């Protein structure tokens, strides 16, 4: 079971636990504002854009070319930007904090 913290645009911290799926699916299931996951996780919509806490960003696998290209054109991109549909829930991300980007 991994604990994931989402920080909304309003600055609210929302904490959820899961053992499978992606960070996007967990957010959508719990209606985290600003994470819509319109395309269901196939990297076509960029409605699950987050900024990953720097300490955790390095622990994640680097984004694929398709994800990086999607992010290139989104708003509020920074060096810690990720589409959270591409971050699987696992023990490796237990304790991670992500901030909703848009």
Candidate list 24, 32, 48, 70; residue touching another protein; CB under 8 A: 70
84 binds another protein (CB under 8 A): no
Give the bridge partners for 83, in sequence order. Answer: 49
Residue number, 42 or 58, with CB nearest to another protein:
42
Cα distance between residue 90 and residue 1, in whole Å: 7
Give residue 83's Cα distance to chain centre: 5
Residue number, 16 or 21, with CB nearest to another protein:
21
The DSSP output letter for 45 is: S
Residues 15-44 that bind another protein (CB under 8 A): 36, 38-44
69 binds another protein (CB under 8 A): yes
Q: Phi/psi zone of residue 11: left (φ > 0), alpha (ψ -120 to 50 degrees), beta? A: left
Q: Please report, as ranges, the residues that interact with another protein according to CB under 8 A.
A: 36, 38-45, 64, 66, 69-70, 73
């Amino acid at each position: 079971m991994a604990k994931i913290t989402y920080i909304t645009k309003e600055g609210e911290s929302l904490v959820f636990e899961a053992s499978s799926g992606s960070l996007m699916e967990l957010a959508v299931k719990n209606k985290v504002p600003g994470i819509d996951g319109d395309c269901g996780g196939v990297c076509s919509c960029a409605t699950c854009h987050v900024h990953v806490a720097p300490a955790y960003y390095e622990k994640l696998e680097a984004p694929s070319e398709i994800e990086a290209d999607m992010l290139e054109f989104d708003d509020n991109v920074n060096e810690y930007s990720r589409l959270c549909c591409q971050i699987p829930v696992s023990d490796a991300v237990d304790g991670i904090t992500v901030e909703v980007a848009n």
